[in-house]
Chains A and B, each alone.
Chain A
Amino acid sequence: MKIFRLSLFNLRKNRKEALAIIFLTFITVFTLGIVAANLAKVMNVFDECYEATGSVRTLMAFRGETYREEYKDILEDDYNIRDMKLGKLLLAINSGLRDNDGNKLSENFVLLTEDEDLKIDDFVKGDHLSDEEIKNIKHPIWIPQVYEITRGYRPGDTLTIVAGGRDYPFTVAGVYATGVCNNSNVMIKLIVTENDYTLLSGVFEVADFLAFDNDGEFPVMEFAAKGEEKTSEKLTQSLFVLDHYTEKYVETQFPNMFMIMAACLSAITMVAAIFLIRHKIGNDIEDQMQQIGVLESLGYTSKEISQSYVYEYVITVGTGAVIGAIAAVAVTPLMNSTLRSMLGRDVKGAVNVLMVVAVAFVITGLITVFALLKAGAVKKYPPVVAFRRGIRTHHFGRNVLPLTGTGRSINVRLAMKSLVRDARQNIGTGFCIVIASLAFLFCSYSFDIFKNGFDVLMTVMGLEVPDETLTLMNGVDAYEFSEEMAKLPEVEKAIPTYNWKYVHCKGYDGQSYVNIFDDFSLTENLFAVEGRFPQHDNEIAISLRSSRDKDLYVGDSMIVEGDSIEKSYIITGVVGAMSNSGINVFMTCDGYRRICPNERPDGICVYLKDGYDRDEFERKITSIYGASAADMASGSVTDGSLEDRIRQKADEKIALLITNYGVTSVDYAVKIGDQMITGNSSKFVVKDVNSLYDLAESQMGAIADATRTFTFAGAVFVAVVVAVILWIISSSNVRRQRKDLGIMKSMGYSSRDLMKQMAIKSMPVTIIAVIIASALSFPLQSQFWFNLFSADMGVNIPLMIVLDIAMIIYCYIVTYICAGRIRKISVTELMTE
């Protein structure tokens, strides 16, 4: 009990330091507690939603008319899959939507009717209008929960689908929960009426789908190969598979990233706390050496005395841990709400209190063990040694950095002497600064990457992202039309390309998206990190992930399969590519035609001049070139003047010729009396106008914003932790050296001199630690971003140098300010001791 009172006395004496340790422990337990309690939740929410909504684990869509019964047989026979459901849906890749405010979004989505949806999930309804209200809506649409959570759509809102140059406004009838297709980064599933489905069938690609349950990731390529073998028909290009595994990975990737980052930050705090406590115990023992001697002479054992130090930290750490654990539990509703926003699903359930308590116990235990080990040092000091202030004060060694060699500044010399003297302590300080700097550099660098939103991701997307991408009607000459586009006043340049083409690279599991351009130097978002882009038809550039995963480098060759034709290509470059799981390839148009000889460029990348609005340009292009042939072909003429009706009828006929007979160009002339009405098929040139930029923004914008906020908060957090570390070290050192500092004051050293000495003393350790952290941050950051984005985000060396200098200056200033406790040391107090 007496020992415990001694601990309390020490605590009262060093209240501020105790509070700082409580703060560090609180932060550690709070953050790690949140991570531990919610990490499992992130994974479970997804699975629970699948279970609750009866969602199938795999949705396999066959684009166009490519579905064959044999595929079902293969699934049954080779994969033992039962209870498959066959249905139909409309596939809209990178298609436009408008929200209530008329803002355009780009999304990948599927459209299907309620009956078809019941083959995929149970269509579990959430908030929705009354049946009566829904009956009165002309075009009702059901949206998945993610739209309600992340985009704020409510029942009764207007959601407009933009396709083929037309707006298709729908009224949100309600929200439904689903496991599958509830993620903007993968696919969204929208439910429409039979009539609207039929209407949109002329606009979007129809696909047959098979919905079924299976375990784990579905082997798509293997299945496609079997299908092709059995039917002798091409399947890989038309197969589109969404599985539980992929969707879960995509959906949980970023929440997990944030959790891991938070865990790393709290681990840093924990290491700092452990180090500081060890450091403080060491200083306390040295400072209280004579008291220890007195206690030992009075009969206290060294074990009892060490216990007094340990109790002190059990009390502080325990207090911090309890507060941290309570706070971690208390923020559960907030965490649920945050996770709900990140996952786009309802997150319910109480916090895993057991996990939080376990974290608190483990951290308290861990710190206590380290405290115990350090406090054991009391054993080294029997009473006589303790009275003489420890054997360490008996110097028999070499006088390192004698003052006879003092250069310009005695303060620097004394600081360096002190630095050498406290070498062991400096290793610990250095270690703390290394990990803190590493975290600071990582957070600051990440913040810098995302400071302009998701723009940076455009450079590593591995896709060309022009202002607008035009998809042309069959038979339209992309080269001729791009020249026509280039003449428009808004257009800076227009480059022909192939839209959404996939090839199969031998040895790869999935299909590779292929970027195809005649001249890659005209592109603006594609950058080779090694080598160059292809210039000849036998050349190819590959993604960084392919290069690393498949051990392929510039100069190697690879076999690529297109339209049943395989050709070998020489790798000329490596490109950072985060899209399509990072397995993109890059070929020239000639190169692509070697494996797909029947295909011609069907798209145009349009780059607008500065100051022109994309939406306005889209409207203009749509009005001139963008009528939907399929839509027009099924239309009926009912009103307008005679000329209007004749023109509309003529357009209908042209549309029929284009859609049914593959006609590519039509001119007409109709004479009524003296009036000649003429026209042509020019308005049927552009099938679709969309913006990949909008799609990227819709998929990555929120993530970029969240990352920017999180990393900024992380950098501030680390700066605070560093300040706390330096403050505790400084105050502990000032207390330990109180007598020496007082003596020096009596000699005429001002508080500023002594504070400067303390700050200078910290500099070599800080500089070395920051350099080590910088060196370590290169590979760590590179690997982190590669794992996340399959791309090399590069290292901004000037920024890193600036950050290093900032960190060093920050440490200097903080140490200087923290050493301000020296001001309180009174010489007279020293003399009256």
Chain B
Amino acid sequence: MRALFFRDLALALRAGGGFGLGLAFFLIVVVLVPFSVGPQSALLTQIAPGVLWLGALLACLLSLDRLLAVDWEDGALDLLATSPLPLEGIVAVKAAAHWVTTGLPLVLAAPVLGVLLNLAPSGYGVLVLSLALGTPALSMIGAFGAALTVGIKRGGLLLSLLVLPLYVPTLIFGAEAARRAAEGLDSGTPLLLLAGITLAVLAAMPFAAGAVLRVNLR
């Protein structure tokens, strides 16, 4: 299990692994927002938490189709399936590796990009906290989507269509927590609900993803 985790990490970090692409995408989305809505800092302050959450979500989505597809194409997934580790575990480990290479950098970069969007000072702590709580769920749900579409050629667009509606609760609670904190309100409730969703997803989703992957490997 640990070996698989470090293998995925190493593959992602090496040249051609696509590490940092998500981060760059996040940056570009955030830079494009002032171009599209105008540079007034009051407006940017108001929409900053939502834009940062949306950008992180899209950046997470971007790298999902590589999550299982690469191993599927070269047959590594078949080998992994015959290993003693159950498929549920494999999917969970892959999602964890995806989070470390995609979600974690996003969480760390969010405050810097918050400066670009003129985020209110009270919002930084909760923004980072909400992203840290929410992005693991995004990776795990994404792993389910990737497992669903792994056998389909050019499944990338379909993957977005399937995964984005599943992201709705996470996005709502995460962005709501960040928004409330930025406006100086109490953000405890949405944070707790967000944490609840993430925990439930981490507990239940590997089984759904494992079942789906088993069907696809049949």
Partners in one complex: no
